[in-house]
Amino acid sequence: MDTTLPPTTTLSVSPPTTAVAPVTTLPATTTTTTVAPATTLSTSTTTTTATTTTVAPATTLPATTTTTFPGGPLAAFGVQRVRVGEEEWIVAVADEPAEQAQGLMGVTDLGGLDGMLFLWEEDVFTFFWMKDTLIPLDIAFFEESGDLIDVISMVPCEADPCERYGPDRPFRYAMEAEPGRLDDAGHLTLLP
């Protein structure tokens, strides 16, 4: 069979179609892109090409991955994998002053997260309160080494003045979680 086209033959090419299906897992993000352009020549010859691309996000210390929660007060926070005691958790991260001031205010549930990690580059001596926080929480305070300093139970504040919660010495990390989740904390480890 002769496959040479005569000079007056018109070649019809249909535009390629692209389907993009992002898949998100915590803590890494995998994006799969399938490209399947189809080109049809004068008879029934079809050429198909498929490409898959996997992209892993770069991590920094501490490794936080920006995850979009479907609206609500947790939408702007990144997430971090941590080990609390012997358990691996996924937590929202508050490492900027505005995020630390917001904390879990207005949150009615943790949306599948295990808690919220507050972290600083240097030890701090500060207090937490439960103003505009709708759910009871426990808070654990940790040294730079990850060793536990204290765990305190906190209740929502319904009227000013609100109680202030904190340890009796400086700390590097604080972790808020549902009541009882931090009872066996012991040690905090940030995971990549």
Q: How confident is the model at residue 54 (pLDDT cuts 50, 70, 90)?
A: very low
Residue entry with tokens 């943790």 = 110
Nearest to residue 103, comparing CAs of 79, 80, 77, 121? 77
* Beta carbons within 8 Å of 140's beta carbon, 6+ residues apart: 84, 148, 149, 150, 151, 174, 175, 177, 182, 185, 188
Predicted confidence at residue 75, as pLDDT, reads 82
Predicted confidence at residue 34, as pLDDT, reads 32
Phi, psi of 102 (to 5 degrees): -75, -50
Q: Count the Cβ atoms, other than its own, within 10 Å of residue 142.
A: 24
3-state SS, one letter per residue, for 99-126: HHHHCCCCCCCCCCCCEEEEEEEEEECC
Q: Is the distance from CB of 148 to CB of 187 less than 8 angstroms?
A: yes
Q: How confident is the model at residue 30 (pLDDT cuts 50, 70, 90)?
A: very low
Q: Which of 5-9, 35-39, 83-87 has the lowest mean pLDDT?
A: 35-39
Q: How confident is the model at residue 71 (pLDDT cuts 50, 70, 90)?
A: low
pTM for the predicted model, two decimal places:
0.65
Query: Is residue 64 exposed (0-12), middle (13-18) or buried (19+ Cβ within 10 Å)?
Result: buried
pLDDT tens string 122-147: 999 999 999 999 999 999 999 999 99
Cα-trace Rg, the chain: 26
Query: Is residue 113 exposed (0-12), middle (13-18) or buried (19+ Cβ within 10 Å)?
Result: buried
Predicted confidence at residue 4, as pLDDT, reads 38
More confident call, 9 vs 127: 127
Predicted confidence at residue 76, as pLDDT, reads 84
